[in-house]
């Protein structure tokens, strides 16, 4: 069964993965057995009751109580097994352990933000400790998203104007891919993140030092790092090509025509406003789809991004 799981499914990296996979394999195996049995029966009866001559008369076939009871009771038993098994898994997935570490998750088009208890915000990188329950409290800033980590077998829709949550307990250190599994717009397929699972001591060290390296970086270098870290390249190119948003190449100091006909010079104030309140001024020919980075980027980080954009001429 382990080899079958490895062939059909991602690695099992959480405490709920084994139970989820067991139910999956039960449903799959039962369905295959029924498929084979029904197929053989259809072929057999097609051959047995075929028309042998033009004078063949279909005999009167009375009911078979044992057969009728069997094809009603057996599926009912299978359905009840699946229901009970699934209910037990559902209760487990909705009962969060008391010692769970909590991370706030915000879905935006098209990135994931992770807010930690010390105030640090990471983009597209979820860091968690191994062998400890982790609860994710999630909401969306714009449209419907869906948070899915295949290795952990957990998935939950992320909705605007309300909170949803899920929990998991990773069983081994390493990296796992996070997907958005609800179509959310043009760059939906690029809405990827990575879950990093650390030993408890390493996680605590990361939490203490997260963001500290930024303090020692050159502003232009930090700006380039922040553009990459915050997935800005998903919508803004740096080579002049057109994506969902205006290109960064030649942006600073250029004249921008807004959708209302207003002409604006892309200076420091314009870029800052575009980062913190991006849908106040929309460049002509583009849609108001950029999320706000208020609470994600501080003043020093915004200054660094502006310094980096000035170099793209």
CATH number of the CATH domain containing 12: 1.10.287.90
Same domain membership, residue 201 and residue 105 = yes
Helix H or strand E segment including 125: strand 125-129
Long-range contacts of 18-25 (CB under 8 A, 24+ apart): 19/88, 19/89, 19/92, 20/89, 20/153, 21/153, 23/82, 23/85, 23/86, 23/89, 25/1
pLDDT in tens, 271-290: 888 888 888 888 888 888 78
The boundaries of the domain holding residue 295 are: 215-310
Closest CA to 111 of 297, 309, 300, 293: 293
Same domain, 89 and 105: no
- Both tokens of 220, joined, read 């232009």
**DSSP letter, residue 247:** -
Tokens matching residue 268: 């420091």
- End-to-end CA distance of the chain, in Å? 58
Residues 6+ apart with CB under 8 A from 55: none
**Three-class DSSP category at 119:** coil
Candidate from 2-6, 20-24, 261-265 with smallest mean pLDDT: 2-6
The enclosing domain of 121 has a CATH number of 2.60.40.420
pLDDT for position 210: 76
Provide the whole-model pTM.
Answer: 0.75
* Residues comprising the chain, all counted: 313
Domain boundary among 161, 180, 209: 209
Q: How many domains is the chain built from?
A: 3
CA distance 214 to 63: 79
Confidence band of 238 (pLDDT split at 50, 70, 90): confident
In 3D space, the residue among 303, 309, 293 whose CA is nearest the CA of residue 236 turns out to be 309
Q: Is the per-residue pLDDT at 5 higher than 70?
A: no
Evaluate whether residue 57 is within a structural domain: no
Among residues 209, 230, 265, the one where a domain terminates is 209
Indicate whether 193 and 162 sit together in one domain.
Answer: yes
Asked if 313 contacts 252 with a C-beta cutoff of 8 angstroms, the reply is yes
Q: How far apart are CA 39 and CA 28, in angstroms?
A: 16
Helix 299-310, helix 219-229: angle, nearest 10? 100
- Indicate the SS3 state at residue 313: coil
Are residues 233 and 198 both part of a single domain?
A: no
Q: Using the predicted structure, report yes or no on whether residue 42 has a pLDDT greater than 90.
A: yes
- Residue 117: predicted pLDDT: 86
* Angle between helix 299-310 and helix 268-276 axes, rounded to 10 deg: 130
pLDDT value at position 301? 82
> Could you give the CA distance from residue 193 to residue 123 in angstroms, rounded to a whole number?
8
Residue 124 lies in a domain: yes
Q: pLDDT tens digits, residue range 217-233? A: 778 888 887 888 777 87
Kindly list the distances between the CA atom of residue 296 and the CA atoms of 56, 93, 275, 300, in Å, as whole numbers in the listed order: 80, 30, 10, 12
**Which H helix or E strand runs over 217?**
none
pLDDT at 175: 93
Q: Which of 176, 209, 242 is the last residue of a domain?
A: 209
The rounded Cα 165 to chain-centroid distance in angstroms is 13
Question: Residue 234 is part of a domain; what is its CATH number?
Answer: 1.10.760.10
Q: Looking at residue 216, what is its pLDDT? A: 67
Q: Which of 309, 158, 156 is nearest to 227 (CA)?
A: 309
Confidence of residue 163 (pLDDT cuts 50, 70, 90): very high
Does residue 122 share a domain with residue 42? Answer: no
């Amino acid at each position: 069964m382990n080899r079958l799981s490895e062939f059909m499914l991602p690695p099992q990296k959480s405490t709920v993965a084994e139970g989820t996979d067991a139910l999956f394999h039960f449903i799959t195996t039962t369905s295959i057995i029924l498929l084979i049995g029904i197929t053989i029966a259809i072929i057999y009866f097609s051959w047995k009751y075929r028309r042998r001559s033009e004078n063949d008369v279909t005999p009167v076939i009375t009911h078979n109580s044992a057969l009728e009871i069997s094809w009603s009771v057996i599926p009912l038993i299978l359905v009840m097994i699946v229901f009970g098994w699934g209910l037990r898994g559902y209760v487990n997935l909705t009962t969060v352990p008391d010692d769970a570490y909590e991370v706030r998750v915000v879905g935006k088009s098209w990135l994931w933000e992770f807010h930690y208890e010390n105030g640090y915000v990471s983009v597209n990188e979820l860091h968690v400790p191994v062998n400890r329950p982790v609860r994710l409290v999630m909401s969306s800033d714009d449209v419907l998203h869906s948070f899915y980590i295949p290795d952990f077998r957990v998935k939950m829709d992320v909705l605007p104007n309300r909170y949803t949550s899920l929990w998991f307990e990773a069983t081994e250190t390493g990296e796992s891919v996070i997907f958005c599994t609800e179509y959310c717009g043009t760059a939906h397929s690029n809405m990827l993140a990575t879950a990093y699972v650390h030993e408890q001591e390493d996680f605590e060290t990361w939490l203490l030092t997260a963001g500290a390296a930024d303090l020692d970086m050159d502003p232009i270098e930090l700006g380039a790092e922040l553009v990459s870290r915050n997935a800005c390249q998903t919508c803004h190119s740096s080579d002049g090509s057109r994506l969902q948003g205006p290109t960064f190449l030649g942006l600073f100091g250029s004249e921008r025509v807004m959708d209302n006909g207003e002409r604006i010079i892309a200076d420091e104030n314009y870029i800052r406003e575009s980062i913190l309140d991006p849908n106040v001024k929309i460049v002509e020919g583009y849609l108001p789809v950029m999320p706000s980075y208020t609470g994600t980027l501080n003043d020093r980080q915004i200054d660094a991004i502006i310094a980096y954009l000035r170099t793209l001429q």
